[in-house]
Copies of this chain bind each other. A is one copy, B any other.
């Protein structure tokens, strides 16, 4: 491969900037496009009924002829989760990532029965990979899942560094931690041309807690607990899982795991040598050993209060083999994602009601973030000394604050580029420019439908969900215009029928009036019925349901 020093490179983020989630970037050089990460986002309250949110479908299918491959930094859902929906558009592509990342991808694509549509190509720390005129180097970084990479990319416009999701742990419990020296060496004496760096925790001062400190807190909890220890954690946090295994073995407790994703990830990690479960280790699915409480650790899914998770079922009922005992110590060893605070609080309160003690991050040091705090971010900036800086992986306020940090670390203010989703950044050998934004609204996935649920459908769902629906059915004689049957009125999610039957009777009279005043024009009838009933319901109930009038002429 020859790298032409007179080319240009365009980086277009399809997601992840201005939001946490949907990390996905297109890197377009002279000979094609590389996709860096392919993540999803979980829907928020406004996305009624939506399962997942993925990058803009059109922007992805538009590059299929130019795609040189997909490079994955690590295996979290916000970096690999959209593959099942985008791979069908990108059939035949190669996907590059660490063994652990690809094991998770393999599992996903097999479930969707599209595994043979792509080629999975494992890379290691130190691998050098040429994709068109881009030469990728993979640097180990410490995060909260095994085998994460930062990227060093030799390009026609200079050396570019993508931090990946990272933190700096100088004394990691396993693995190499983040190898800042590799970043420093790659950037060279004059510094990198461009750094893209993780902004998630820029607003947290100092340095993130280390796993060593978390393990110490957990050890203290193990020492103090009189009954069972119930621990929830992110099911991909294999290092944390290993800590629990180790503590259990040391303290003579047996571990029982419950939850499909947790059991699955432990299997995957064990097969690749990333976790070593104790010899006597049980899956609640097949049975729970009859040991006394003080001899048990239950490791379960449900740290975010997900209603079908093992923890929710244990607490609210519905778990076939496990429940909360009085005297249990429950450790929520993960961050509460803001949208989930209510659901998690509900569980915590219920566990207190059942007589358990609950320990969580905001009160005890039982979780460490996988993302660098501001001082670690400064270390990265100082190691790489970039000419240009693009903060990534954050809400807009995080990007702004990260930009300010870069300025304090010596990056020229004009060289700090706050990209947003869909905003292409084009680098030339000694300049850069921002071209017009491309459309990149996310695509919504609901069941098997990809992209068919849009704003119109969501708006209808919002009204249906908030106000309910009233259906009016009427059969008319096509010739005479007389009413043969009805009006029948059926409501769903509107009022409790028995209590308001008088109201629905009044509504029928209004329907008949509305028909009369339409003088036989059927379109007019429907409009009249809808507007007449809507203003009636607004007046008597202050509610505005979806009203559908169906008039059949026979």
Contact of A449 among B345, B352, B358, B543 (CB under 8 A): B543
Task: List CB contacts (< 8 Å) of A412-466 with chain B.
Answer: 446-449, 452-454, 456-458, 460-466
Residue on B nearest A477 in the bound complex, by CB: B554
Residue on B nearest A45 in the bound complex, by CB: B45
Check A396–B465 contact: CB distance below 8 A. no
Contact of A457 among B446, B454, B496 (CB under 8 A): B496
> Which of A25-33, A381-389, A544-552 is found at the contact surface with chain B?
A544-552
How many copies of the polypeptide does the oligomer hold?
A: 2
Check B44–A452 contact: CB distance below 8 A. no
Minimum C-beta distance from A421 to chain B (A): 12
Total chain A interface residues with beta-carbon distance under 8 A: 67
Contact pattern, A 345-363, Cβ under 8 Å of B = 1, otherwise 0:
1001110110000100001
Chain B CB within 8 A of A114 CB? no
Chain B CB within 8 A of A375 CB? no
Residue on B nearest A350 in the bound complex, by CB: B396
Minimum C-beta distance from A333 to chain B (A): 18
Chain B CB within 8 A of A316 CB? no
Check A471–B550 contact: CB distance below 8 A. yes
Check B349–A338 contact: CB distance below 8 A. no
Check B496–A342 contact: CB distance below 8 A. no
Check A471–B471 contact: CB distance below 8 A. yes
Contact pattern, A 478-496, Cβ under 8 Å of B = 1, otherwise 0:
0000001110101011111
- Considering the chains assembled together, what is the distance between the CA atoms of A461 and B460 in angstroms? 12
Contact of A338 among B338, B448, B465, B490 (CB under 8 A): B338
Minimum C-beta distance from A358 to chain B (A): 7
Chain B CB within 8 A of A468 CB? yes
Residue on B nearest A341 in the bound complex, by CB: B338
- Considering the chains assembled together, what is the distance between the CA atoms of A81 and B44 in angstroms? 29
Residues of B within 8 A of A129 (CB): none
Residues of B within 8 A of A190 (CB): none
Check B548–A490 contact: CB distance below 8 A. yes
Check B461–A466 contact: CB distance below 8 A. yes
Residues of B within 8 A of A546 (CB): 492
Minimum C-beta distance from A550 to chain B (A): 5
- What is the interface of chain A, defined by CB distance below 8 A to chain B? 18, 44-45, 48-49, 203, 338-339, 341-342, 345, 348-350, 352-353, 358, 363, 395-397, 400, 446-449, 452-454, 456-458, 460-469, 471, 473, 475, 484-486, 488, 490, 492-496, 499-500, 540-543, 546, 548, 550, 552-554
Given contacts A338-B345, A473-B473, 7 further A-B contacts (CB under 8 A): A339-B342, A348-B397, A349-B397, A446-B542, A452-B499, A463-B493, A485-B552
